[in-house]
Amino acid sequence: GDSVTQMEGPVTLSEEAFLTINCTYTATGYPSLFWYVQYPGEGLQLLLKATKADDKGSNKGFEATYRKETTSFHLEKGSVQVSDSAVYFCALTLMDTGRRALTFGSGTRLQVQP
């Protein structure tokens, strides 16, 4: 079945450090890929998305590029802030199969220290 694998956390960084959170996927078709973020005590929020190979999603300084050849969608940010501390989820959906429900990875907790 379809699945998403993320690097285990927590990831602990100092403010202004470079962030990479790895995400790879397995899918039977051509998925759309997403990063969602969950701040403490809140529900998930869409951070960025990419719907086809080589697309780059970006938002709030975060970027991720859809790499079909490596089945990856790694999340990056050049300079993290304390306010970026949250849990980040990589996810996919296969719209063309009608399966619109998202399949999530296990989440990666990011802790940014001042």
Partner 1 sequence: DSGVTQTPKHLITATGQRVTLRCSPRSGDLSVYWYQQSLDQGLQFLIHYYNGEERAKGNILERFSAQQFPDLHSELNLSSLELGDSALYFCASSGGGAGGQINEKLFFGSGTQLSVL
Q: Which residues bind partner 1 (CB under 8 A)?
A: 32, 34, 36, 41-46, 49, 51, 89, 93, 95, 98-107
Give whichever of 2 and 17 is closer to partner 1, judged by the CB atom. 2
Residue 46 or 53: which CB sits closer to partner 1? 46
In the complex, the smallest distance separating the C-beta of residue 8 from partner 1, rounded to whole angstroms, is: 11
Secondary structure (3-state) at 82: helix
Nearest distance, CB of residue 114 and partner 1, angstroms = 27
What is the residue-wise DSSP string for 14-43?
Answer: ETT--EEE-EEEE-SS--EEEEEEE-TTS-
Candidates 15, 32, 11; CA nearest to 87 is 11
